[in-house]
Structure 1
Amino acid sequence: MNYLITIFKLSLLIACFTYGVVVGVYKFFPYQVLQDVKCKLNNTCSVSPVFQNQLKFDKPDYDGSWVPVVQTQTGLELTEITPDEEILNSFIFSWVRIEDDNIEQASALKFKDGSIYYINRQDPQILSQLGLSDENLPAKAGVRAVFDFQGQTLAYVAYVEENCVTAKLVSLGTNETLLDLGCIDVDEANLDLVGGGHLVLNENEFLIAIGTGTAHTVGNQYNQNAQHDESYWGKILKFSFVEGSHKVSVYSKGHRNPQGMFARKGKIYAVEHGPRGGDEINEISEANNYGWPKQSLGSETDGTPINKSTEDIPNYVDPLYAFIPSIGISDINECPQSYSNYYQPYKCLAVSSMRAGAIFFLVFNDNRILFTERMDFESRIRKIVID
């Protein structure tokens, strides 16, 4: 009997190898199928490392405008729940797609008591509280970030007032304006480039990422703000709160449109939209300069080259990694624990994208990317949260 099993195994191996050679031009070989069959024959099958987002649909209490993905009490129903999986090099990644017509460009996302909560960009409660109407809120305007700090809920909101595009950071509890960015001429502005990434550093400090507010060429006057210390546009700002008052300082500069931020073991990472190519992952340190608009690994949207030299940029720091072409980079977080553990002692970051419709895992050491692994979802991914 053992002799017959051995012959069967060898025959299967030869058949699979031949099949792989025949279709090898397509770079396909049934390794996963072969591995599954072999382990079943040898009775050595074990559970593959799997990280699976299991959603709980109970509705806990929530505050303000936070809306749960599933809210059966008000008649919100899931139109579709689609399970799926993708085979990576060493993992099977299982995931669930939830179609919910009430989610429209979510600007904030969080887990609470095992459930998912979101706030849309055009959230009527927040915008009306701030006195903003349809006149102030053309397409792309609205809530860009919401986060909690020192018992307050803070909202970063972009809007139009007369001939100005501007943005401000407001406490929703007191309506106090903590930051007012000033005017960009409406004909020169692009509300997609106001930033919105944020990171709470400790109980007294947080960072918020501010874009340039314009998509024009590098020579445009508003792009120059990213290098001007007297302007808060194109910066990552630090807010420090002491004895009831707060101070705002420039933490880093030379940013075009920074998005999500994440901290791990004393390091701060941020993702940033490039123009045409040059989406960046940066390690953020205080007083550093990240180049824009003096330098970029991308080009202008019409293909015109942008300077690559960094000689005349004090405190310049190269990106940890840049995507060429652009992926529509959107957010950053740590990798799922099982994935990170597998590649220890190396570091791992997870980056989401809108244009590429994918999540990228980047494994690196000492500021050198060793490899990336891509998971395709065929959907624009705006936020990534690890529970």
Structure 2
Amino acid sequence: MFRSASLLGATLPMLLLGTACAQPVDGDLSSEAGTIRVETVVGDLSHPWAIAVLPDGGMLVTEREGRLRHVSAGGALSAPLSGVPAVETAGQGGLLDVALDPDFAANRLVYLSFSEGGDGGNSTAVARGRLSDDLSGLDAVEVIFSQSPKVDSSGHFGSRLVFGRDGNLFVTLGDRQSGAFRGEAQNLGSHIGKIVRIRPDGSVPDDNPFVGRAGALPEIWAWGIRNSQAAALHPETGLLWEIEHGPRGGDELNVIRPGENYGWPLVTLGVEYSGLTIGDGLKTAPDMVDAIYSWTPVIAPSGMLFYSGEAFPDWQGDLFVGGLASTALVRLELDGERVVHEERLLEPLKQRIRDVAEGPDGALYVATDEAEGRILRIVPAR
């Protein structure tokens, strides 16, 4: 439902909680769907990066420094779980996304993305292990994928993990924020600046678009990607949607189709951080896919969810995106592959929103990427 274009991007007022010198978090906020309540589920987290909701309403939460935590449905925070692979933590790197196997109830498999050190620098890697019955750690952990080549950089790891309907795993991979490697996003012989698709054991599906093509890595599903830290599967079409960070301007929402080129760095809606033009300044080009929506100034997108819960009936089918620079949970109303309305929630909290998830009760959960990070629960106010 399209409610009013005049409200696009509006900042919503918040009822002040606490003193002027304290940062209020818990309390009631206005939204276009009515008053919502924000509650802290758990604090004392250091830069939480991702949330995976467990069947019982608990969750697994990654902290960028390399810790994986269990949070019970009642909000109890565990000690760091054992079995997490060695993580190279620097800059944007560390322990990043976490995802549950589609058959988690039977196999208890958990997937982690992280920055992996090695010869030549570091890269995005994916590991999987079995969550122990007592929730204390991961067993039989193995690395199933490593981005190639490794780069001496601490930026643009991408790193979102999304399972397709067929059980194969999409992994978003950044361009590594290195001038020497920027053009690799257009090189099919490199994983840099790509989205890859692998089987749960890391092997390559036979129907990947570049299987058998000389000079192309068979894991590649899509290319020309800058740095995607937001991705989710569309509930009706089964297509992967992703949002990538623009440079100065030009965050892009894209619908990902196999074998397509999304342009970076030959095509971009942004400019260099210095203000200079990137390449030839192209905004579009033949044989390259245009974004369906963009943000300038950037929101710095991270985390993404198609909402399907009962708690907020007016929001069913909407797309939610975490905003780091915008300190907002961005809600997008859709008409097919078109964005028809935007609302920004949580802005008054001034928290960097790193990830968003949906609980079994339809509540929304967000991770705040702060030194004193939290998991917040969003429900209708009663």
Q: Same fold (TM over 0.5)?
A: yes
- Aligned pair partner of 1:179 in 145, 148, 152: 145
- Aligned pair partner of 1:145 in 97, 111, 122: 97
- Which AA in structure 2 matches 1:158? S
Task: Measure, in 2, the Cα distance between the counterparts of 1:343 and 1:114.
Answer: 21
Task: Measure, in 2, the Cα distance between the counterparts of 1:122 and 1:343.
Answer: 34
Give 1:260 shift: 2.2
Task: Measure, in 1, the Cα distance between the counterparts of 2:312 and 2:290.
Answer: 25
Match of residue 47 from structure 1 = none
Is 1:225 matched with 2:184?
yes
Please list the CA deviations of residues 206-229 of structure 1 after superposition, one character each: whole Å capped at 9, or x if unmatched: 111111112x4xxx3311111111
Q: Provide closer, same or farther for how the CA distance between residues 124 and 380 of structure 1 changes in structure 2, counting only shifts above 3 A.
A: closer
Match of residue 370 from structure 1 = 340
Task: Measure, in 2, the Cα distance between the counterparts of 1:355 and 1:210.
Answer: 21
| SS at 2:249 equivalent | coil
Q: Is the 8 A contact 1:335 1:361 kept in 2?
A: no
Q: Provide closer, same or farther for how the CA distance between residues 245 and 138 of structure 1 changes in structure 2, counting only shifts above 3 A.
A: closer
Task: Measure, in 1, the Cα distance between the counterparts of 2:85 and 2:358.
Answer: 34
Q: Is the 8 A contact 1:82 1:98 kept in 2?
A: no
Q: Provide closer, same or farther for how the CA distance between residues 251 and 163 of structure 1 changes in structure 2, counting only shifts above 3 A.
A: closer
* Count, aligned residues: 295
Task: Measure, in 1, the Cα distance between the counterparts of 2:284 and 2:356.
Answer: 32
| SS at 1:196 equivalent | coil
| SS at 1:94 equivalent | strand
Task: Measure, in 2, the Cα distance between the counterparts of 1:324 and 1:339.
Answer: 31
Match of residue 252 from structure 1 = 222
Q: Provide closer, same or farther for how the CA distance between residues 127 and 224 of structure 1 changes in structure 2, counting only shifts above 3 A.
A: farther
Give 1:253 shift: 0.8
Is 1:261 matched with 2:220?
no
Match of residue 13 from structure 2 = none
Is 1:295 matched with 2:267?
yes
Is 1:169 matched with 2:126?
yes
Task: Measure, in 2, the Cα distance between the counterparts of 1:124 and 1:89.
Answer: 37
Match of residue 39 from structure 1 = none
Moved more, 117-126 or 347-356: 117-126
Q: Provide closer, same or farther for how the CA distance between residues 245 and 140 of structure 1 changes in structure 2, counting only shifts above 3 A.
A: closer
Match of residue 385 from structure 1 = 357
Task: Measure, in 2, the Cα distance between the counterparts of 1:153 and 1:110.
Answer: 9
Q: Is the 8 A contact 1:200 1:206 kept in 2?
A: yes
Please list the CA deviations of residues 121-175 of structure 1 after superposition, one character each: whole Å capped at 9, or x if unmatched: 2235799857737xx4334332122223363322222144365122322233444
Q: Is the 8 A contact 1:138 1:160 kept in 2?
A: no
Is 1:308 matched with 2:262?
no
- Which AA in structure 2 matches 1:199? V
Match of residue 255 from structure 2 = 283
Please list the CA deviations of residues 260-306 of structure 1 after superposition, one character each: whole Å capped at 9, or x if unmatched: 21112123211111111111211111112111111111111111123
Is 1:104 matched with 2:46?
yes
Please list the CA deviations of residues 238-261 of structure 1 after superposition, one character each: whole Å capped at 9, or x if unmatched: 11369x954452111111101121
Task: Measure, in 2, the Cα distance between the counterparts of 1:325 and 1:339.
Answer: 31
Q: Provide closer, same or farther for how the CA distance between residues 129 and 269 of structure 1 changes in structure 2, counting only shifts above 3 A.
A: same
Task: Measure, in 2, the Cα distance between the counterparts of 1:225 and 1:288.
Answer: 15
Give 1:374 shift: 1.2
Q: Provide closer, same or farther for how the CA distance between residues 121 and 222 of structure 1 changes in structure 2, counting only shifts above 3 A.
A: same
| Greater helix proportion | 1
Q: CA RMSD for the aligned pairs?
A: 3.1
Q: Provide closer, same or farther for how the CA distance between residues 153 and 90 of structure 1 changes in structure 2, counting only shifts above 3 A.
A: closer
Give 1:117 shift: 3.4
Task: Measure, in 2, the Cα distance between the counterparts of 1:212 and 1:183.
Answer: 11
Match of residue 42 from structure 1 = none
Task: Measure, in 2, the Cα distance between the counterparts of 1:378 and 1:277.
Answer: 21
TM-score by length of 1: 0.68
Task: Measure, in 1, the Cα distance between the counterparts of 2:67 and 2:310.
Answer: 39
Q: Is the 8 A contact 1:268 1:284 kept in 2?
A: yes
Match of residue 71 from structure 2 = none
Is 1:213 matched with 2:179?
no
Q: Is the 8 A contact 1:270 1:283 kept in 2?
A: yes
Unmatched 5+ residue regions in structure 2?
1-9, 11-22, 69-79, 130-138, 206-217, 360-382
- Aligned pair partner of 2:163 in 200, 210, 231: 200
| SS at 2:318 equivalent | strand
Is 1:359 matched with 2:329?
yes
Please list the CA deviations of residues 10-42 of structure 1 after superposition, one character each: whole Å capped at 9, or x if unmatched: xxxxxxxxxxxxxxxxx9xxxxxxxxxxxxxxx
1:105-120 aligned at under 5 Å gives the runs 105-112=47-54, 113-120=56-63
Q: Provide closer, same or farther for how the CA distance between residues 343 and 260 of structure 1 changes in structure 2, counting only shifts above 3 A.
A: closer
Please list the CA deviations of residues 326-347 of structure 1 after superposition, one character each: whole Å capped at 9, or x if unmatched: 1111111123646874378xx5
Q: Is the 8 A contact 2:231 2:240 kept in 1?
A: yes
* Identical pairs, percent: 21
